[in-house]
Amino acid sequence: FVLTIGGAFLFDRLSLHLHQHFVLYSYQSYLASTDQLTRLANRHVILEKVTTLEKNRASWGVILFDLDHFKSVNDTHGHAGGDAVLRHFSIVLNEHCPAPITVGRYGGEEFIVIIPDCDLYEPIHLAETIVAAVQQTPFVMQDHAVSITVSAGIAYAHHHPAETVFKQADIALYEAKTQGRNQYRLYQS
């Protein structure tokens, strides 16, 4: 009887420790894969996703988004206001990007969308939708609305290495910025 109770007690303690270990491991995995401000995938997750797509020789596309005049938002509303705008934009991205699409923060005010099936989810249509949604959704900060716009650059992999595709999307993004912002551009070789 004493052995049975002792065994049950030890089993209970072991179960508790295993559960705590699992919860801690899950939380650490979440922290390692998530941008803490926006709760989107971080750069590491984005690169893993692209590596998988390249290994599978899949056709994929990328959209780079950059918030227009973000420095002035930080200057006017402080870094807390800028952080709130980044979180707001991440919500807009999540609302318009279905599950197989990977959405992440690329750095600063740049965001990235990896589209694994360009036949099912057309990058140009997605970029157009998001650019319009951001312009039509004013961000309310304290007691007034702040107008936000975003520019986007699109590139298709076409069996090019990820580094090349990212550079192409960046070139297209730069073109969208220099041509007036609040628009998207497709990389043209």
pLDDT, tens digit (0-9, with 9 covering 90-100), for 5-14: 777 777 777 7
Higher pLDDT, 103 or 189: 103
Catalytic residue among 48, 109, 122, 163: 109
Bridge partners for 62 per DSSP: 114, 155
Element (H, E) at 156: strand 150-156
Percent of residues, the chain, with pLDDT higher than 70: 90
**H or E segment at 103?**
strand 102-107
Q: Is 163 a catalytic residue?
A: no
Enter the pTM of the model.
0.83
Q: Give the C-alpha separation, 96 to 47, whole Å.
A: 21
What average pLDDT does the segment 31-52 reach? 87
Per-residue confidence band for 22, with pLDDT thresholds at 50, 70 and 90: low
For the stretch 54-90, pLDDT in tens is 998 888 999 999 999 999 998 988 888 899 999 999 9
**What phi-psi label fits residue 8: left (phi over 0), alpha (psi between -120 and 50 degrees) or beta?**
alpha
Q: How far apart are CA 114 and CA 185, in angstroms?
A: 16
CA dist., res. 128 & res. 73, Å (int) = 23
3-state secondary structure of 46: helix
